[in-house]
Structure formats: structure tokens, C-alpha cells
């Protein structure tokens, strides 16, 4: 992306705080982007955990992606509700609109996964405009802000973890996101598959036994069949998740890198899903260093 490009901000999940959203818009405008917001971004409905009704939220996503003037669609926050939109989107129309940037994390995993399956486009997992890291009162969190700008500019990035659960090197397309959302899509048209890929997993506020249950569901559904490596992000307010992560994932026999600042928490580094990356446990890093279109070995 370049200064002058148009960013459309939509609310496919929970309702944004209007003040945080305004600050996030101003900071994106400070980068030289033209920013527009969806018609229903500040809507409310009887289910107060949703930013307006499903049809309105889906219409905003659809309109933004299909607008030829828009270069990027930024989800303003997570929460809950993106999965409710998947059956309402016109995938043929979205496909015909061509590729552009989709940014979000947490609940937006539902859109990342569905866009990968339906459209085959890379999407950006990173901080969102109406959240503290970008829209906070004291300004954007510096490392998160710098990482997002680098990702939007197309610059290769290297994100470092803090521990290795299984040593080795793996190369493949990065895929995944929030564990709860990935597990929730099992048995649907958008069931996740890590075959030939590096699985990115993170979560917030889940007890270890719940992490166990979700990993077991994905394992039994075959989602990890053919996985090349695993990159574990943040596990905020999840107790000590590492015993269960080792128990469920080490038997897969692939490199596992953990402690990456990706997901929830601060800082939140931006990573491209659907592009080739490398796990190297010797340097304890996940690198986005390969050109788009290269084939993983």
C-alpha cells in the first residue's frame, strides 16, 4: 500500500468504541491513507455484543471489498460475530473484485479462513483501528505500529519467539489465527486445513483444558494432517498453556516455535496469512522472507 490509497473500515464483529475508532482513523490518515467507514460501523442492535444486525455488517464488508476505489478493508475490532456473516456474503462478487488487503485478528480469523478458502488471497493478521494498540489515548503502541506499517508496505519481516517446543526448520504458507475460531469452523464449508502449511495458533482467556478440547477437535477433524510446522503466538490469560500444547502438538513431529508476539497482548506484530514463511528454531524466528507466488519446497 502507498499514501493516497483508500482504506475502508468495517465492523463485522463486536461494536467499536466511537472514540477509539476516531483515533484509529486519524492515525491511518496520518500515514497518508484516505479512510472511509462502513455505513453501519456504529450501528447497534438488541444483541449488544454485535455491531448491528448480520445483514448490515455483511453488506458493509461486501461493499468495501467490491468497491474498486478501496485498496484495503480494515476490521475495526474483534469480539464476536464475523462467523455469522459467512453465509451472507456473495463469494462470486467478492472473487470478481480481485485481491486487496483484509486486516484483522481474533474473531476476524473467521474471515481470514473463509477468504483463504473462497478467494485464495493473502490476508493480514494484525492490530485493528478501534483497539488500544492503534486507537489508544496515548498513541499507537510503537512496535505494533511499526510492524503494521512494514507489513502494509510489503517489507519482509522477522518475528522472534521466546521458546522452542520442537526443534527444526519448516517452510510453508502461514495459515490460522485464533484457536477458538478455527475449532468453531470444523464441520462447516470453511473447515480449516493445515496441510502443507505452517499453522499459526493463539488465544485469549481460555483455560488449558479448553485449549486441549479445541486442539483435540482439530486433530480429530484432520486439520493438522500434513502440517509442516507450528507457530504459537500469545496466550493471554490462559494460565500455563504449554503442557497441553506440548502434549497435543509434539506428537505431530514437526518444528514448533512458541512465544511469538502475535495475537492478543502487546506488542502485536503483523503477519501475512496465505504467504510463504519460514520457522527457524535455531534463530527462534518466524520470517516472511519469500516472494509471493514462490512454491514451498
Known catalytic residues?
A: 106, 202, 264
Q: How many CB atoms lie within 10 A of CB 103?
A: 24
What's the rounded Cα separation, in Å, for the pair 208 and 113? 24
What's the rounded Cα separation, in Å, for the pair 32 and 220? 47
Can you spell out the DSSP letters for 110-147? HHHHHHHHHT---EEE---TTSHHHH-TT---HHHHHH
Beta carbons of 38 and 68 less than 8 angstroms apart: no
What's the rounded Cα separation, in Å, for the pair 282 and 210? 31
Beta carbons of 10 and 38 less than 8 angstroms apart: yes
Can you spell out the DSSP letters for 46-76? SSTTSSS-HHHHHHHHHHHHH-TTEEEEEE-
What's the rounded Cα separation, in Å, for the pair 192 and 49? 25
Q: Give just the sign of the alpha carbon dihedral 101, 48, 265, 242.
A: negative
For residue 9, what is its C-alpha cell?
473500515
Picking from 64, 111, 107, the residue whose alpha carbon sits closest to that of residue 85 is 111
Amino acid at each position: 500500500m502507498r499514501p493516497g490509497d483508500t482504506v475502508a473500515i468495517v465492523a463485522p464483529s463486536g461494536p467499536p468504541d466511537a472514540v477509539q475508532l476516531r483515533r484509529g482513523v486519524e492515525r491511518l490518515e496520518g500515514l497518508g491513507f484516505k479512510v472511509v467507514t462502513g455505513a453501519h460501523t456504529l450501528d447497534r442492535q438488541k444483541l449488544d455484543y454485535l455491531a448491528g444486525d448480520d445483514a448490515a455488517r455483511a453488506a458493509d464488508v461486501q461493499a468495501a471489498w467490491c468497491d474498486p476505489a478501496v485498496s484495503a478493508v480494515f476490521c475495526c475490532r474483534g469480539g464476536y460475530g464475523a462467523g455469522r456473516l459467512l453465509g451472507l456474503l456473495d463469494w462470486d462478487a467478492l472473487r470478481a473484485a480481485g485481491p486487496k488487503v483484509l486486516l484483522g485478528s481474533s474473531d476476524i480469523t473467521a474471515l481470514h479462513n473463509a477468504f483463504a478458502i473462497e478467494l485464495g488471497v493473502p490476508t493480514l493478521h494484525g492490530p485493528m483501528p478501534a483497539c488500544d494498540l492503534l486507537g489508544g489515548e496515548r498513541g499507537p503502541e510503537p512496535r505494533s505500529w511499526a510492524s503494521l506499517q512494514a507489513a502494509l508496505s510489503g517489507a519482509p519481516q522477522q518475528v522472534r519467539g521466546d521458546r522452542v517446543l520442537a526443534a527444526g526448520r519448516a517452510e510453508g504458507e502461514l495459515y490460522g489465527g485464533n484457536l477458538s475460531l478455527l475449532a468453531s469452523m470444523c464441520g462447516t464449508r470453511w473447515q480449516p486445513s493445515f496441510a502443507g502449511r505452517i499453522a499459526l495458533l493463539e488465544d485469549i482467556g481460555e483455560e488449558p483444558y479448553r485449549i486441549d478440547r479445541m486442539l483435540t477437535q482439530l486433530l480429530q477433524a484432520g486439520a493438522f494432517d500434513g502440517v509442516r510446522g507450528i507457530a504459537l503466538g500469545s496466550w493471554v490469560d490462559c494460565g500455563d498453556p504449554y503442557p497441553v500444547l506440548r502434549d497435543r502438538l509434539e506428537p505431530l513431529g514437526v518444528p514448533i516455535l512458541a512465544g511469538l508476539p502475535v495475537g492478543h497482548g502487546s506488542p502485536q506484530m503483523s503477519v501475512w496469512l496465505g504467504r510463504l514463511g519460514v520457522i527457524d528454531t535455531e534463530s527462534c524466528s518466524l520470517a516472511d522472507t519469500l516472494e509471493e507466488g514462490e512454491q514451498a519446497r
